[in-house]
Structures are given as C-alpha cells and as structure tokens.
C-alpha cells in the first residue's frame, strides 16, 4: 500500500512539473530590472540565445525593423526591434555619421547592419526615417540619425536590460527625435 502512495505522489509531481514547463513555454513575459514584455510583434526566433554578432538583412529594401510594445520603467512603451524581436538601442556619443562604439563595445552592443541595395524598411509605418550609414561596422542602420544596436545581455525578445547603461545607452522608440549633424566648432544640441 505504501508503494502505491509513493508512485501516485511521483506521478502527480511529474504532471505538475510538465504543466509548469508547458505554461512557461507559451509565455514571453519576463520581469527583470525595469523592463518586462507585455506584448510584442510576431517573431520567429524566441530561442533566447545571445547573439553578439551584428544583425544583418541581406535583401534589397528588406524589413530590418519592427515595432513592439513592452513595459519600460513601469510604462507601456512602443519600441524598435530587429526582425527577431530583440530591442534596438542608440548610443548618445554617436554622431549621425560615425559610431563611437568600436572594439569590445561592438561585441557587447552589436550594430544592426544592412546588406544590399535600397533602403532599410520597417514592418509597419514609422514617423521617422530609417537610413544606412557607411562606417567602420559596414552599412549600419540608423533611425532619425541615431545608429542602431542590440545588447548582448538581452537574451529574448522584448527584454530591455541595456536601457540606461552608463547613462548613454537607451531604447530606440518610434518617437526618437532627429539627431542633428554637429557643426564644426559647435554643438549638436540646440540651447
């Protein structure tokens, strides 16, 4: 009789564990730091693996940017993502024509690259402009003059663990203002 109770208990635990695993596989919600996913655009890669190499798009005029909605600093925010749903960032020391993130920085913050002809496209209309800047990384995608990057610490779509790092890395949003080209001897900021 004792052996039957033990087997029943093991079976119940096994079913409970399987249910937990299945429930967690169907959810893309994560809660870490100041960001969590509440909903996102449709993506095809949710493996959660870190890709510290540049993201590239190889078809002329192909879609390289999507829009997703995440909870950022406790607020529902529309953000720009790559085609796999990974959050895109901009680096405040960059200029519209040159990346300030090179060497080891580019390993942690892989640039979003475009290969081919034409212009990069978004899966949905954006209020700003996508463009390509030819720099040390290759053909880097920019939005409103801000060069775009991913963060190697984001392991799944909808994460924004890189937001605010060093006070110079921020999530790119569709409402990101245009980065003015600095004038010689002047500032890019208008006071």
- Cα distances (Å, whole numbers) of residue 101 to 16, 39, 107, 146, 185: 47, 30, 9, 12, 22
Position 123 in a domain:
yes
Average pLDDT over residues 135-156: 96
Position 109 in a domain:
yes
Position 104 in a domain:
yes
Average pLDDT over residues 33-43: 35
Mean pLDDT of the chain: 76
Position 129 in a domain:
yes
Position 153 in a domain:
yes
Question: Looking at the 3D structure of the chain, how many domains does it have?
Answer: 1
Average pLDDT over residues 55-65: 63
Q: So what's the pLDDT on residue 118?
A: 85
Domain range for residue 45? 33-171
Q: So what's the pLDDT on residue 155?
A: 96
Residue with tokens 């192909």: 62
Position 9 in a domain:
no
User: pTM of this prediction?
Assistant: 0.67
Whether 135 and 97 have beta carbons less than 8 Å apart is answered as yes
Position 45 in a domain:
yes
Each residue of 7-24: pLDDT tens digit?
555 554 445 444 443 333
- Per-residue pLDDT at 40 exceeds 50: no
Handedness of CA 66, 138, 144, 98 (dihedral sign): positive
Residue with tokens 């190697």: 152
| Cα distance between residue 175 and residue 88, in whole Å | 13
Position 139 in a domain:
yes
Average pLDDT over residues 125-145: 95
- Per-residue pLDDT at 37 exceeds 80: no
């Amino acid at each position: 009789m004792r052996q039957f109770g033990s087997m029943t208990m093991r079976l119940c635990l096994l079913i409970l564990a399987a249910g937990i695993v299945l429930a967690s596989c169907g959810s893309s919600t994560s809660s870490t730091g100041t960001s969590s996913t509440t909903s996102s655009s449709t993506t095809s890669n949710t493996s959660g693996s870190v890709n510290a190499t540049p993201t590239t798009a190889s078809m002329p005029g192909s879609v390289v940017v999507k829009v997703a909605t995440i909870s950022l600093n406790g607020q529902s925010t529309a953000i720009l993502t790559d085609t796999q749903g990974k959050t895109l960032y901009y680096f405040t020391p960059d200029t519209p024509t040159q990346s300030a993130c090179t060497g080891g920085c580019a390993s942690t913050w892989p640039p979003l690259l475009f290969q081919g002809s034409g212009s990069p496209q978004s899966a949905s209309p954006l209020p700003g402009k996508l463009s390509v800047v030819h720099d040390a990384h290759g053909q880097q995608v920019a939005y409103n003059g801000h060069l775009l990057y991913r963060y190697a610490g984001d392991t799944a779509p909808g994460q924004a663990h890189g937001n605010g790092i060093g006070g110079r890395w921020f999530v790119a949003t569709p409402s990101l203002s245009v980065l003015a080209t600095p004038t010689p001897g002047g500032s890019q900021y208008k006071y």
